[in-house]
Structure 1
């Protein structure tokens, strides 16, 4: 099993300056390696027989891949000696990050889905560096030893579980300080818990009026963290526009706004974790709609969809279910809101109609009816998935 724990770092003032310096140098190297990839791509992407009759044919060169770019790092340390102060594996992780980004642009991910064209990073948009390998025993009490950086104080608000091994460590700069993310692994944890019960199943319907409704009729209210904080955010965002660009007072106002946005995001994340824990304590199988959240985020409901954070919640729910040896199933959302959960007849309803009434006598809340349909549509899929997993 693989999981991640995040802790707050308490670096000294000198260590904070050093982290910022590392991030600045790594950002410059990331942009340089990405530019090298773009240079080859622009010069060599078009075959010769597809070029215009009159054109400049550039000198062909090998495609800069992961290994060829990694070989440039020793030369980088000779021409720019200050890069020698950064741990070698942290520099190599930059090369890997560029490779993954560019491969997703050209070839797509494991599902064949391609990403947009990679963008160069501004200094304030590059916030993380990673140690791909870290020694056992690097964390002693509330102190962690980072190679070629030093010993940094950590707020250890929860201990690392017994049997888990630290695989990677990442340092991230956020609006309210620095954070340490540890990737942990324990191969002895079973993928399915011993007393797994496939019959303990529920369907959940995600919404904007209520955050979710289960097939048993339980309702979780939607907190609307962003909308509740909108009034305060409006006041402090106006301070930015009133202050001179480049001034220290403007930078201070920007930092204040960033902290407030992080506070809203933390509240939303905390709500998602608590809701996922509540569901996984009651059920072993949870069924949800395979929603096109990206498409909904371009509609007139975009602000409410982003405030609800459906994608984040479903990712948290799926990850926690895997770690707990439970199952989360995504089903086709077609017809779940319109079909009757009792007889299966389509009962057309507009979005503002919140009650389901069918000629068969079924009368219940629209979201409850949808949750029942979601649960029923996963009966066969869930059985197959459980047998494959077991």
Structure 2
């Protein structure tokens, strides 16, 4: 199993200057490698049915890939000796970063989903560098030893789990300081526990009236961290707009604005983790809707959608593993989270499966069969019923040796598998 722990760093002034200098040089190298790939791509791509008879023949050269760009690093250190101050593996990781970004743009990820055209990064947007390899004893007490940066004080607000091996270390510059992210791995820890209780299953309906409602009828209120901070954010934003561009006072105001936004984000993230912890300690399997969050974020409800942050609740508290038609999250303690089809969960009756049309402002579900309950509670029960017939859950229960699982009927399951 793989997990990540993030701690705050307390570097000295000299170490802060070195980290900022590294980020500046790595940003320049990232843009150079990305421009090299774009130049070759623009000069050599031409569809077979659109190639003119008379055209410019570009200079013949090999397509820049990961290995060819990696071989240019020794030459870079000779022509630009100051790049020798950066750790070699950190510099190599920039080439890998460009490769992953450009490959997603051309061919897409493992599911074939292509990303947008990669953008060149300014120095303010390039904030992270990574050590691909790190010794297990790099942390001694309250100090972490980073190659070519030295021992840096780290605030270990929580202990690292025993038996885990440090795979990678990333240093990130944020609005309120510097952070280190440790990627830990232990292959002996199972990602999903084998003794799943088939009766400990719940469905959750994410909404904007309540943050979520479980199939047991328990609601969780939305804390609305952003809306409560709007007044303070408005004051700081006006302060930024009144400052002269490229002035020191404007930079200070922008930094203050970034800190305030980070406070809101940290409060929301803390709420997500605590909510996931409550679900994890109470249920073995949690089912939720496979929502089109990108589409919701472009609607009139965008502010409320982002303020609630239902999708990050699932992403931040789990490790994501995608297949073509099923999204499955495995949380550290073995909680199985399944995404089901969201079509009709609010309209279908959870008792008789008859469709009861309702508009968005109608918050109560009433059916001719006598079922009368809250709209979100009805949707959560439908989500749970669809999860009971899901192939992932049935396969997991069959592997645990629970009798009668294979004959269990599928209840209103419309998930394409």
TM category (shorter chain) comes to over 0.9
Q: What's the counterpart of residue 412 of structure 2?
A: none
Q: What's the counterpart of residue 313 of structure 1?
A: 313
Query: Higher helix fraction: Structure 1 or Structure 2?
Result: 1
Any idea what SS the aligned residue of 2:213 has?
strand
Deviation of 1:314 after TM superposition, in Å, equals 1.4
Supply the distance in 1 between the matched residues of 2:29 and 2:381 (Cα, whole angstroms).
53
Supply the distance in 1 between the matched residues of 2:47 and 2:274 (Cα, whole angstroms).
54
Supply the distance in 2 between the matched residues of 1:282 and 1:24 (Cα, whole angstroms).
47
Supply the distance in 1 between the matched residues of 2:398 and 2:119 (Cα, whole angstroms).
40
Supply the distance in 2 between the matched residues of 1:210 and 1:47 (Cα, whole angstroms).
51
1:109 lines up with 2:118 in the alignment = no
1:352 lines up with 2:361 in the alignment = yes
Counterparts of 1:235-314 in structure 2 under 5 Å? 235-314=235-314
Counterparts of 1:1-390 in structure 2 under 5 Å? 1-47=1-47, 50-319=50-319, 321-381=330-390, 383-387=393-397
Contact 1:280 1:321 in 2 (8 A): no
Contact 1:198 1:386 in 2 (8 A): no
Deviation of 1:308 after TM superposition, in Å, equals 1.2
User: How many positions carry a matched residue from both structures?
Assistant: 390
Structure 1 residues not aligned, in runs of 5+ = none
Supply the distance in 1 between the matched residues of 2:363 and 2:279 (Cα, whole angstroms).
24
Supply the distance in 1 between the matched residues of 2:359 and 2:288 (Cα, whole angstroms).
21
Any idea what SS the aligned residue of 2:27 has?
helix
Any idea what SS the aligned residue of 2:389 has?
helix
Deviation of 1:143 after TM superposition, in Å, equals 0.4
Any idea what SS the aligned residue of 2:331 has?
helix
Deviation of 1:311 after TM superposition, in Å, equals 2.0
* CA-based RMSD: 1.3
Deviation of 1:324 after TM superposition, in Å, equals 1.2
Supply the distance in 2 between the matched residues of 1:349 and 1:95 (Cα, whole angstroms).
53
Structure 2 residues not aligned, in runs of 5+ = 320-328, 401-417
Supply the distance in 1 between the matched residues of 2:372 and 2:14 (Cα, whole angstroms).
66
TM-score, normalised on structure 1?
0.97
TM-score, normalised on structure 2?
0.91
Supply the distance in 2 between the matched residues of 1:383 and 1:171 (Cα, whole angstroms).
38
